[in-house]
Structure 1
Amino acid sequence: MSRLFPTLALIACLTFGCGSNEDQQTTTDRGPQTDEFVAPTESVDTDIAEGSSSVPDEATESLHIAPTDPTSSVHPKPLLAPGLLSRTTPAPKSAMVPPVDEAVVAPPEPYDVVRVFYGTNRNRTGSPNPKEFYGREQSDVSYGHCDVSIPKSHKKGKLESPSIWRFEFREDPKKHIVLLDVEEKSQHQFMSELQHVVWNSMKVVDTEHGPGLVGGEAFIFVHGFNNSFEDATRRCAQIAHDLKFQGAPILYSWPSQEKSSLDGYRADGHMAGWSEEHLINFVTQVSRDSGARRVHLIAHSMGNRIVSAALRRLTEQCVNQQIPRFNEVILTAPDIDADYFKTAIAPYITQTADRITIYSSSRDIALKLSSLFNPLARKRLGESGRELTVFPEYGNIDVIDASFVETDLFTLNHSYHASSPTVLNDIELLLAGYTTEERGLSSMFNRLAWRIREIGQQISDQVTSSQR
């Protein structure tokens, strides 16, 4: 009897079929079984054959998948992982799956961003708009940083802005230098972030004298007459970008009245005087706490009055203390009485800087107008030609005549420090430590002054600041 039941079972299976319930389903429920369905492995087999793969036979046998229900939500696992496929056989490019970092490539940024740190004794307006963040009234010093766009198409010396001649009515960071945002910080946060940027900009390079440090520097830019906070920030960012500055650009913005009238000029003169004490404290903090290897001061136009007076007072206040030292003090188109500077400022300012460089021009129309506004002191320090002021008694004051550099048409020739590629190249070499002779300048008055030549632009192309 024990052999009878298996025999009967075999007969029943042959007679009625021995499939499962799933095999007997019809199209009214889940559809017929598709015995013909197999995984599409023919192309893989072909690729392996054509590539003379070293995959063993037992591995290729696993490429054939058992019949699977195509309507099932559970899909078979990949037979050969893309990484394994790429390692064992030269599969076609269409079958290759690159690593994630190659497959997903972020598009290039349409513009560069320069971070400008700032201190200002302008009032907060309460507006979230970066252009209107600070006003024209006096206040306590605020600290923070701004982000400014520099378009990829930027040309050295240009401050790209919308132009109605090009039918541009809105700012576009891809085309223009734009103040993107302003973020105010506490004094502690400001200095901490400044230290971080300064430290990260420092690197070791090989020089002819062995390993040396470059970067890790800071410059403080003080703007001139008739400048808004936005104007000054955009200009500071453009200068930093064009100088290829390795460090932290810093702006000190005083409350200019942003008026080009005679009344506005006089009001700005008063505001500049009231800002001296704030600037003294600010530059002292940066010099002492920023961690920068070298700190430079760059002043333009009326901003030279604030910088000069601040450095004089700083020297007077530190009679029995160590005077904060600045490496390069650059006075561009200085709107300050030349005789007053020579007698009352120069003896003090030379004690606070390694070198002082004064850029002047005989074509500066703005300074000629300033002489009319100051009838008792007609000669301005930033004027050259017959009005050029020299300092034979000081070995660390260089006077540069920039009368013959290129300037834009229909301008006052007053912003050549930032608009002339030749002057920017000279300042770049100056900050890198090159002397007037090394920068290719022409001697005037038996080396009491120097004239910029066009060759300065060629020299800058060959010599970069990282070489010193």
Structure 2
Amino acid sequence: MELLDPRVDAESAHISKGHPPTSGTVAKLTTKAHRRFTDTALAAIVDRGSSVIKLPRERIITVSRMRPLIFLCVLAILTACGGSRANTGLASNLASTDFSQHVLIFLATSRKPTENADQPYSAQRSLTLNMARYDVGIPLSRRVGTVSTGGTHPDPRRHFAVVSSSAIDGRARFVRQMNAALNRLPPENREIFIFVHGYNSNVSESLYRTAQIVSDFGVKSVPLSYSWPSAAALPLYVFDRDSSIFARGGLAETIQMAAETKAKDIVLVGHSMGAFVVMEALRNLAMEGKRTYFARLGGVILAAPDIDVDVFESQVHDIGVLPHPFTIVVSQRDRALSVSRFLVGGHPRLGSGRNIDLLRENGITVIDASAADGGGHGVFASSQAMMKLVENSRLARDALVENKATTSPFTIAQGIASSPIAIPLTVFLPSRLVGNGAQ
């Protein structure tokens, strides 16, 4: 599948060959899309976390009949209607005292740095891993599970923003600073939580989503955000797919750095296309004879994984024995994965939850969130049901969030069963634990 039609100009073709996009280029492509389809009936439903953008019903046409070029241009139009992207807000000179809460987040990224404090890293790919630390302010007036941003002038009462930041030069210094953060925690909480964002995300959005999860789920570990070079533009899905392959080495290096710290355990969470980066990083470590690092992983969670089912089987084969516990959050109502399936020619995506038996046979615990809060693409981070599960069971918190090595997958099911409130989640335990057909 080609990303762009042969009739587009040289600038568009420049992107199709894998060169990093700029915001100006995306804007030009969006403008062309408006001109080309002004008189055409267009429709799309794009699930970005908890927000759904729709065009009027009377203008709907069947998405499956649209050529990939047209569909991507529709996404460009919807992007233009969605407002500006998040940035750090550092130019506003806000203080940590301006926010109700602030979280120290470490960053490792395979993006190239910029001179722009509001967008400190670009979509350009870097073979050198860049590292930094950010103090992220969390607003008081926000709905739990959401991430609200305010552009270059954030309001600390309503928006996430970066209070301060500093680059970290060198692997040894990064490990030392992470150890210092770990030492400030009680011994039982000295763990590292690595979050890998999905498609269509910039660095600020990755930091803010990490901060939101830490705040809403009560994560006590040291958070580490791995940001791979997503273009942060809906039309550039293919560019992001290539970047996710490029970024696997950087995440493998990040896991090794985390393993060199004094952390008791490391939990690794990948969302959407970020789950593909996680699997590829684990595959890299296994293929390079570095499986010993798996022992430092207290657990792995893939949330709404945008991975071809056949590719996942191949990855598992190359990895061998997966780290334990290994959990995948799926939803049959994930519209974003339906769009992804269309874009790649109809191949089923792992996060759609239609291959649960395959997962259980590989020792994987599956949480089906189809009935939880709409079952959307960001349900793992925004679902009230997931949060209630964590709030009402310390054992479930250990398994889902902190992944303590002493917990069993049974604890997730126990958390649901023991909850005093109804939690619309279904848990499928690995076949080796309960026998085929058990749930």
TM-score (ref. length: structure 1): 0.62
**Structure 2 SS opposite 1:285:** helix
Query: Cα–Cα, structure 1 residues 240 and 327, in superposed 2: closer, same or farther, change >3 Å?
Result: same
**Structure 2 counterpart of 1:423:** 386
**Structure 1 counterpart of 2:141:** 153
1:388-419 C-alpha deviation (Å, 9 max, x unpaired): 45334333x10111001114xxxx92111111
**Which amino acid in 2 is paired with 1:439?**
G
Q: CA deviation at 1:174?
A: 2.4
**Structure 2 SS opposite 1:290:** coil
Q: CA deviation at 1:118?
A: 0.7
Query: Cα–Cα, structure 1 residues 238 and 382, in superposed 2: closer, same or farther, change >3 Å?
Result: same
**Structure 2 counterpart of 1:235:** 209
Q: CA deviation at 1:353?
A: 1.5
Counting helix residues as a fraction of each chain, which structure ranks higher? 2
User: Aligned partners of 2:196 and 2:174: how far apart in 1?
Assistant: 18
Aligned counterparts, 1:180-259, within 5 A: 180-187=163-170, 188-203=172-187, 214-259=188-233
Q: CA deviation at 1:423?
A: 2.3
User: Aligned partners of 1:319 and 1:229: how far apart in 2?
Assistant: 28
Query: Cα–Cα, structure 1 residues 245 and 337, in superposed 2: closer, same or farther, change >3 Å?
Result: same
**Which amino acid in 2 is paired with 1:115?**
L
**Structure 2 counterpart of 1:174:** 157
Aligned counterparts, 1:77-92, within 5 A: none
Q: CA deviation at 1:324?
A: 4.8
User: Aligned partners of 1:194 and 1:450: how far apart in 2?
Assistant: 41
Aligned counterparts, 1:320-359, within 5 A: 323-342=294-313, 344-349=314-319, 351-359=321-329
**Structure 2 counterpart of 1:399:** 366
**Structure 2 counterpart of 1:136:** 123
1:230-254 C-alpha deviation (Å, 9 max, x unpaired): 1111111111111211121000101
**Structure 2 SS opposite 1:309:** helix
Structure 2 gaps, min length 5: 1-95, 391-396, 417-424
Q: CA deviation at 1:154?
A: 4.0
**Structure 2 counterpart of 1:307:** 278
User: Aligned partners of 2:358 and 2:327: how far apart in 1?
Assistant: 11
User: Aligned partners of 1:170 and 1:450: how far apart in 2?
Assistant: 52
**Which amino acid in 2 is paired with 1:417?**
F
User: Aligned partners of 1:173 and 1:196: how far apart in 2?
Assistant: 28
TM-score (ref. length: structure 2): 0.66
User: Aligned partners of 2:99 and 2:342: how far apart in 1?
Assistant: 46
Query: Cα–Cα, structure 1 residues 405 and 392, in superposed 2: closer, same or farther, change >3 Å?
Result: closer
Query: Cα–Cα, structure 1 residues 424 and 390, in superposed 2: closer, same or farther, change >3 Å?
Result: farther
**Structure 1 SS opposite 2:413:** coil
User: Aligned partners of 2:206 and 2:279: how far apart in 1?
Assistant: 19
**Structure 1 counterpart of 2:246:** 274
Q: Could you tell me whether the CA contact under 8 Å between 1:284 and 1:324 is conserved in 2?
A: no
1:55-94 C-alpha deviation (Å, 9 max, x unpaired): xxxxxxxxxxxxxxxxxxxxxxxxxxxxxxxxxxxxxxxx
**Structure 1 SS opposite 2:135:** strand
The number of aligned residues is 317
Q: CA deviation at 1:179?
A: 2.5
1:117-174 C-alpha deviation (Å, 9 max, x unpaired): 01011111112x2x31111101221111111111233442121334xxxxx9941122
Q: CA-atom RMSD, angstroms?
A: 2.7
Between 192-201 and 433-442, the greater mean CA deviation after superposition = 433-442
Identical columns (%): 28
Pair 1:298-2:276 in alignment:
no
Structure number, greater radius of gyration: 1
**Structure 2 SS opposite 1:120:** strand
**Structure 2 SS opposite 1:160:** coil
**Which amino acid in 1 is paired with 2:325?**
R
**Structure 2 counterpart of 1:115:** 104
1:362-407 C-alpha deviation (Å, 9 max, x unpaired): 11111001111111x61100002x5545334333x10111001114
Q: CA deviation at 1:256?
A: 0.5
**Structure 2 counterpart of 1:104:** none
Q: CA deviation at 1:438?
A: 1.6
